[in-house]
A and B are shown apart, each in its own frame.
Chain A
Amino acid sequence: MTGRNYQSHDYPLPYVIEDIHQWPIYKLSEDETAFVAEVKAESREKLKSRFATDKELREEIARVLYLERIRLAEKPWKADPKDEYQFWNGIKSKYLKLAQVNDRPEGLSEDELLDEILDRYLNEIVGNFDVRAFGFARAILPQFFGRIFAAAPGKWFKTIGGNVKTLHEKIPITGDIDKIRHLATKGTIVVVPTHFSNMDSIMIGWLLNELGLPAFTYGAGLNLFGIGMLSFFMSRLGAYKVDRRKKNSFYLEALKNYSTIALQRGAHSIFFPGGTRSRSGALETKLKLGLLGTAVEAQKLHFRNYPEELAPRIYVVPCIINYHFVLEAEGLINDYLKETGKEKFLRENDEYSTSVKLVRFMLKFLSASSSLSVSFGDVMDVVGNKVDEEGNSFNHLGQKIDVKRYFVTNGELKDDEQRDGEYTHILGERIVENYHRYNVVLTSQLVCFTVFEMLKKKYADVDIFSLLRTPVEDISLPYDEVVQTISRVKEKLKLMYDEGEVLISPELRWNVDKIIDHGMKNINLYHTTSPLLKNGDTMGTENLKLLYYYHNRLQGYGLEKEI
C-alpha cells in the first residue's frame, strides 16, 4: 500500500523549486503592500454587504468596540501593542461623535472607522518572509531537530556539530512524499496537522523544509510573539498572527480574507484545524472550521477567476505528529479536567511568556525527547475527495470528479456561504478520519491505554474524576495480567492495521515485555512523576492524570472491548 510504510529518503530532499525567490511565500512578501490592500478591500466589501446600511455598520462598530474593551480589561497580553488603549479610546470618541447622527463633524463616517479598524488589524496580522532569516533558521534548525529523531535519548550535546546528515535519514515519516512534492509544484498545499504541543508549528515547519517544499505560511498565536527571540524568527519566516481573544466580526473577516487571498496567491499554508492544542490528549474529533473554510473559498474563487482547465488547485494534506510524551501534558490535562468539571472560567494559557521560559522549554524538549513519528494522510481536494499524482480528484466510488461542479448550480458557478460551510464540514470529517487512520500507535500509548482501561474496569463503580483522585499508592495491577491484556490490544491493533484503520510503529511488533520496557522508558523520560511504574510483579503509576492523558490518544478505536 502506498504511503503506509516508512520510506527511506535521504533527507533533506532537494527543493522542488530551487530558486527561493520563486517561492510563492517570497513573492507574497515582496508584494506585501498590494496584498494587504487586496485583503482590506475584500474584507471591507464583505463587511459592507453584511452590514449594508450606515446604521447597521454603526451598530456593528459599537459591538466591536464593546468586545475589544472587554478584552483589554480582562485578558491583556504582553504581545499587545503599547498604544492599544489609546487606539481604542480614539475609536470610541469618534464613535460617540458618529452616534450623534444629526450633529456629526464634517467628513467623519462609519466607513472611516471601519477602515481605521481594519488597518489596525491587518497591520497586526500580516507576516513576512525574509530570505536571510530563513537561511539562518535553515542552518540552525537541523542541529536542534536532527537530535529528536536520533534513536537514543541523552545524546543531544554530542549531536551538535556532529554529522547532521545521518540524522536526517532517521526521520520516520510515513506518507506519499513524492505525491506531495509533485503537487506542490502544480497547486497550493494546505497541511492540516494534529495539535498536541507548542512545538508542533516549529516542528512541522522544519519537517516540510526537510521534504524540500517551499516555506509555508501559518497562523501563530499572538501570545507567542510576546517572546522576543521567537517573535523575531516567526515574523520573518512566514507566520502571521492570530489572536484568539478577538472574536469580533471585523477581525474574523480580516483574518479569513488574509488566509483566503494568501492561498489564492499560491502560498502553501498550515492550518491547525483543532484550534488549540488537544487538552485531553485525544485525537481531534471536532474541528474549528474557520480557517479551513478559506481553502474552500479560495478554490471556489480560482474557479471563478480562471477558465476551466487553468484554475489552480488547492490540496489538503492531513498530518499526524506523534510524540512519546508531550511536554505540556500536565498543564493540558489539568485544563481539560477543569473544563469537563464545568469550571466556568478558563485561564488563557500563556505558559511561555518569556524567552527564558521558552528556551528552558526547548532545551528540555531537545535533551529529553526520544523518537517521534510523523505521518501524512491522503492528499485531498477541498471537498475531501482523494487526489491522484496528477492532482485529479476521485470520489469514494473511484469516479473521476470535476471539483468545479461542486460550486455549480443549474450550469452556473454560484456563491453560497451556507453550502461552502457544509463542504468545509465534510472536509473536516475526512480530516478527522485521516487522523485516526494514519495515526501511528507508539508503544507508550499502547501501554498507557491498556493500563488505564484496566484500572477503569477495576474501579467500574466510580466516575472518572473519583478514579483520578485515587491515591496512587493504592493503584496496582498484576504484571502478568497487564501483559496478557496488552497482547490482546496489540493483536487487535495489528488486525486494524491490516484493514487500513490505523498505523503502528515498528516496535509494536516486538514481544509484550519489550513493548512495556520501551514504552516506559520513553514516556518516563521527561515527567518527574512517572505515568507508568513497574514494581516487581505489579504495575502502577505515580501520576494518574498523566496516565489518563496518554491513554486518551487511543480513544475512538473501540479498543476498550479488548480489555
Chain B
Amino acid sequence: MNEGKTVGVIGAGSFGAAISNLLGENQKVLLYDRKKEAVDAMNRDRKLKGYALHPNVTATNSIEEITSNCYLIFPVVPSQSFKEMIIDFSPFLRPDHLMIHATKGLHCDFDLDTADPKDLKLKDIKTMSELILQETGIVRVGCMAGPNLAAEIMDKQPAATVIASRFDEVVREGQAALRSERFQVYGNRDILGIELAGVLKNYVAIASGALNGLGYGENTKALLITRGMAEMVYIGKSLGADKRSFLGIAGIGDLIATCSSPKSRNFTVGYRIAKGDDLKTILSELGEVAEGIRTLKIGKLIVEHTGAVAPLLQTIHKVLFEGLELERAVKLLMRYYVDADGEYLDN
C-alpha cells in the first residue's frame, strides 16, 4: 500500500472501472465522472458497470478535488470526448501533475466524414498524449496500452500492460501505482509507438470479428493477425514510431487479445457485419463507442497522406463505408501480391 498517496482516474466507463480497481489495490483512488447522479450512485452502491468497486475507490464530480489531491492522473475517456475533457481540466493542471492516459484512439481537428485527404495536414491528427501537451501545462505525459480487456481485469485474472513515456519517472510512478501480483507493468520510451499500437489494432480487430462471423478458423485468423501487425508497423514507421514497440505487449499482445475476444467491441462490430447487420444498427446497440470505427476513418486519411502500405485498412474501410461485400473483400485481399515474409522488420 502506498501510504498517503491518492491517484486519480478520469472516466467511469468499463475500462475506467478496471483501472480504478487495479489502482485501488495499491492506494486510494479518486474516480472522476462529470455526472453528479452517477457519482452519487457509485459511492452509494459501490458498483460500476455491474462490477464491485474496490473499497479504496471514491467517486467524485469535482475536477478540483482530483487535481488538488492527485499528482498522478489516469484519463480513460473515449478519444471522441477527450479534448473536451482535457480542456475542462486544463485550468487546474500544473507542471507537477503526471498524466498517463489509457485511451486507444486518435484525435483529429476536422470533421471525419467530410475531410478531404488533400487538405489534411498530419499535425491535425493527434494522439492523446499530444492533445494533453497541447491543451495543458503538463509535460510529464505517458500512456498505457496492452491486452487489458476490462472484464478479465475485473475477474482478477493475470495480465500485463505497457506504460510509455519520454520520462522514465512517469513509467516508474505508473508501475508503482499499478503493479500487483496479478498485473505486470512494462516500460517503454517510444510513446508514439505504443499509442499507435493500441490504436491501430482496433481495425484489425474488426476484421478478425468479420472473419469469425464468416465462419473461418484459426489459419485465417493467424494470417490476419500477422499481416495486420505488419501493416501496423508500416503505418507506425511512416509516422515516426519505432517498429519494436509493435512487437511487444502493447502491439502483438494486444492484437492477439482483441482479435480473439468476442468481448471486444471492435470484434463484435466485425462479427455482426459478417452476419449481415447494418453498421448503424450495430453502433447504436453497442452503447459504448467502438474506437475501431474512428480509427478506420482517421487511419485511411493517414495512409493516403503518408503512402504507407495498408491494403487491409483500405479494404475494411471499403466494406464498412463504401459498400464492398465482405466475401469479395476477402478474395481481393487473398489476391494481393505478396513477397518475402517478415519483411516488415527490415528498415
Say whether A and B bind each other.
yes
Q: How far is the CA of A383 from the CA of B139 in the complex (A)?
A: 10
**Among A399, A419, A426, contact of B168 (Cβ-Cβ < 8 Å):** A419
Taking the complex as formed, is B143 at the interface, i.e. its CB lies under 8 A from any CB of chain A? Answer: no
B137 close to A395 (CB less than 8 A): yes
Residues of A within 8 A of B98 (CB): 409
User: Does B169 lie within 8 Å of A418, measured CB to CB?
Assistant: yes
CB pair B94–A402 under 8 Å, yes or no, is: yes
Q: How far is the CA of A408 from the CA of B94 in the complex (A)?
A: 10
Q: Mark A396-408, 1 if CB is under 8 A from B, else 0.
A: 1101011101101
CA distance A401 to B96 in the complex (A): 10
Is A409 within 8 A of B168, CB to CB? no
Q: Which of B91, B135, B139, B140 has the most CB of A within 10 A?
A: B139
CA–CA, A395 to B136, complex, Å?
9
Q: Are B95 and A418 in contact (CB under 8 A)?
A: no
Which residue of the partner chain, among B5, B72, B95, contacts A405 with CB atoms under 8 Å? Answer: B95
Residue B315, interface by CB 8 Å: no
| CA A418 to CA B165, docked complex, whole Å | 12
- B96 CB contact (under 8 Å) in A383, A409, A418, A423: A409
Produce 1/0 per residue, B131-163, CB < 8 A to A. Answer: 000111101100000000000000000000000
Tally of A-B Cβ pairs under 8 angstroms: 49
Contacts of A399 in B (CB 8 A): 90-91, 137
User: For residues 69 through 87 of chain B, which have their beta carbon under 8 Å from a beta carbon of chain A?
Assistant: 71-72
- How many residues of chain B get a CB closer than 8 Å to chain A's CBs? 20
Cα of A411 to Cα of B168 in the assembled complex, Å? 18
- Which single member of A397, A416, A426 contacts B135 (CB below 8 Å)? A397
Closest A residue to B173 by CB, please name it.
A409
Q: Is A422 an interface residue (CB 8 A)?
A: yes
CB-based contact A406/B168 at 8 Å: no
A168–B96 Cα gap in the complex (Å)? 46
Give every chain B residue within 8 A of A409 (Cβ-Cβ).
71, 96, 98, 169, 173
Q: How far is the CA of A411 from the CA of B140 in the complex (A)?
A: 15
Q: Is B166 a contact partner of A422 (Cβ separation < 8 A)? A: yes
Q: Which residues in B have their C-beta under 8 angstroms from that of A402?
A: 94-95
Q: Is B51's CB within 8 Å of the partner chain A?
A: no
Q: What A residues does B139 contact at CB under 8 A?
A: 383, 406, 422-423, 426
Using A406-B95, A410-B5, A426-B139 as known contacts, say yes or no to A418 and B90 having CB atoms under 8 A apart.
no
Q: Looking at the complex, which one of A395, A397, A410, A416 makes contact with B71 (CB distance below 8 Å)?
A: A410
Partner of A416, one of B5, B72, B91, B169: B169
Chain B residues whose C-beta falls within 8 Å of the C-beta of A396 in the assembled complex: 134
Closest 9 CB pairs of A and B: A405-B96, A408-B96, A405-B95, A395-B137, A406-B95, A418-B168, A410-B71, A405-B94, A419-B169
Instruction: Taking A408-B96, A418-B167, A419-B168 as given, write out 13 further A-B residue pairs in contact, using a Cβ cutoff of 8 Å, ordered by the A residue number.
Output: A396-B134, A397-B137, A399-B91, A401-B137, A402-B94, A403-B95, A411-B96, A414-B169, A418-B168, A418-B169, A419-B140, A419-B169, A422-B167
- Could you give 26 example pairs across A and B, Cβ below 8 Å? A396-B134, A397-B136, A399-B90, A401-B94, A401-B137, A405-B95, A405-B96, A406-B95, A406-B96, A409-B71, A409-B96, A409-B98, A409-B169, A409-B173, A410-B5, A410-B72, A411-B71, A411-B96, A414-B169, A416-B169, A418-B168, A418-B169, A419-B140, A419-B169, A422-B166, A423-B139
